[in-house]
Structure 1
Amino acid sequence: MVEYIQSALLIISAILIIISAIGILSLGKDTKNKVYARIHIVGLFDIACIIAMIGLGQFLLAGIYFILAPFTAHAIANAYWKREDRENNSELQNIVEDVDENHPFLHPKEKMQALESENSEKLKADERFSVTTLEIDEGE
């Protein structure tokens, strides 16, 4: 009887994983807040993994995962909201980045884009990379 319950739990988790995979793949490129949509869909993966662990008899691991998964999802969403989500975060919409022109490592984004577009016209894909080999004599 226990084997049937374990099999049923594994089948349920497999179905949830398939549904989640279809959901992730069906997100279009024009989807607003794609990061949040992905985190929401990954929640189904989390539940499927917890059900699979319970089905395999790993109760402690399932409990730990049940507790830690929401914290990590929240941390990712919060980090994205605070630092990268310019569409939703009004504090990030009007940021102007000041870069010193004489700094050896930091360059303005516009300057780098202009250099990349200038170089892409001049160089072909084959000329950008060179491969060298080193011959080693095993007798030495």
Structure 2
Amino acid sequence: MIKYISSALLIISAFLIIVSAIGLISISKDTKNAVYARIHIVGIFDIACIIAMIGLGQYLLAGIYFIIAPFAAHAIANAYWKKEDRENNLEEITVEQEVDYNHPFIHPKDKMQAFESEDSEKLKADDRFSVTTLEIYEGE
């Protein structure tokens, strides 16, 4: 009886893997939020693998995978959202920040580059003095 149940679980997991593979292949690169759709489909792969592990009698491994897989998917989605998702973060990219030229501690990058190019002879002569710029983003 247990062999029939484990065989049925393996057949169900094989069916889920085939269906999710077809779904993963059918998503085009031009689809809006394709990365998130792919991560969602990979979740079906995860469930299929958990069912297969239960069918094979690897209960502890299935439990660990059941706990770890959502954290990994969330980490991938969060990293993509924070750094590379230009479509959803468009307002952050196109907004120009106002530059305060009178601030005593924060200097704009273009002002520092102009200063470095004017005084490049002095900077090369004295190695103890260096000018650096620090970019501060309020969102981070």
TM-score normalized by the length of structure 2: 0.66
Superposed displacement of residue 93, structure 1: 2.2
Larger deviation: 17-26 or 28-37?
Answer: 28-37
1:91 CA displacement: 5.5
**In the alignment, which residue of structure 2 is the partner of 1:31?**
31
Structure 1 stretches of 5 or more lacking a match?
A: 101-140
Q: Distance in 2 between matches of 1:24 and 1:94?
A: 32
Deviates further, 84-93 or 54-63: 84-93
One-letter code aligned to 1:89: N
Per-residue CA deviation, residues 95-134 of structure 1 (Å, 9 max, x unaligned), is: 79x8x8xxxxxxxxxxxxxxxxxxxxxxxxxxxxxxxxxx
Runs of 4+ in 1 over 2 A off after TM superposition: 90-96
Number of residue equivalences: 100
Partners of 1:47 and 1:66 in 2: CA distance: 8
Give the conservation status (yes or no) of the 8 Å contact 1:50–1:62: yes
Change beyond 3 A, Cα 1:95–1:86: farther
The superposition leaves residues 30-64 of structure 1 with CA deviations (integer Å, 9 ceiling, x where unpaired) of: 21111000000000000000000000000000000
Instruction: Tell me, yes or no, if the aligned pair for 1:53 and 1:59 is still in contact at 8 Å.
Output: yes
> Which structure would you say has the larger Rg?
2
C-alpha distance in structure 2 between counterparts of 1:95 and 1:59, whole Å: 51
What does 1:49-88 align with in structure 2 at a 5 Å threshold? 49-88=49-88
The amino acid of 1:16's aligned partner reads L
Report matched runs for 1:101-120 at 5 Å: none
Cα distance per residue 1:9-46 (max 9 Å; x no partner)? 00000000000000011012321111000000000000
- Deviation track 1:60-85 (CA, whole Å, cap 9, x = no partner) reads 00000000000000000000000100
Partner of 1:4: 4
1:90 Cα deviation from its structure 2 partner:
3.8
Q: In 1, distance between residues paired with 2:79 and 2:91?
A: 14
The 2-side partners of 1:39 and 1:87 are apart by 17
Q: CA deviation at 1:94?
A: 2.4
Measure, in 2, the Cα distance between the counterparts of 1:65 and 1:91: 37
- Quote the sequence identity (%): 77
Contact 1:87 1:93 in 2 (8 A): no
